[in-house]
Amino acid sequence: MKPVIALVGRPNVGKSTLFNRLTKSRDAIVADFAGLTRDRHYGQGKQGKHEYIVIDTGGFEPDASSGIFKEMAKQTQQAVAEADVVVFVVDARAGVSAQDHDIAKYLRRLGKPCLLIANKAEGMLEGAQLTEFYELGLGQVHPVSAAHGQGMRGLVELALEPL
């Protein structure tokens, strides 16, 4: 069985762009607006000697009547349950949001191996501006730019390391 990697994060952080990068396909719908990819989406990829399956999770639309956990239960939670490793994607440019904190809390309780990725970090790969993401309590944050293909080398190996 190939290891399964679930991409999790709030809408618009670049999960589908990262999915395309990791699967060398453009199957996932990349949206310029939040929440278009509504269903879980599977792809296969290979990086170095590692073969894997990636799950792209659609955006959830948090609103007053449905909290983040309800939405995650519907869409993301199942992907996370299927996954061996969770890659939690945050937006390096937007900084930490309340939603990021909610997702981090959920993932910390889940106790599965989790890799924290700060996307849209082109031009800031040194990580000086990324220290605030440590407050999510998920350890080191790894800057990448899925759109520009930066910071991708060794990413899968790092994600699969705890297995």
Choose from ligand GDP, Mg ion, none: what does 41 bind? Cβ within 5-8 Å by kind: none
Nearer to ligand GDP, 97 or 162 (CB): 97
Q: How far is the CB of 159 from ligand GDP (least distance, A)?
A: 17
SS3 93: coil
> Phi, psi at residue 62, to the nearest 5°?
-65, 135
| Distance separating alpha carbons of residues 49 and 46, to the nearest angstrom | 7
Within residues 133-162, the interface with ligand GDP by CB under 6 A covers 145-148
Other Cβ atoms closer than 10 A to 54 = 28
Nearer to ligand GDP, 111 or 115 (CB): 115
Choose from ligand GDP, Mg ion, none: what does 57 bind? Cβ within 5-8 Å by kind: none
Which positions ≥6 away from 128 have C-beta within 8 Å? none
How distant is the alpha carbon of residue 95 from its chain centre? Answer: 15
Q: How far is the CB of 17 from ligand GDP (least distance, A)?
A: 4
Residue 59 interacting with ligand GDP (CB under 6 A): yes
Which residue, judged by CB position, is nearest to Mg ion in the bound state?
16
Query: Rounded to the nearest 5 degrees, what angle is found at the Cα of 143, between the Cα atoms of 108 and 30?
Result: 90
Residue 23 interacting with ligand GDP (CB under 6 A): no
User: CB-side exposure of 61: number of CA atoms within 13 Å?
Assistant: 8
Which token pair is 20? 């395309």
Nearer to ligand GDP, 1 or 128 (CB): 128
Binding residues vs Mg ion (CB under 5 A): 15-16, 37
Q: Which residues bind ligand GDP (CB under 6 A)?
A: 9, 11-17, 30-32, 37, 59, 119-120, 122, 145-148
Q: Enumerate the known binding-site residues.
A: 9-16, 56-60, 119-122
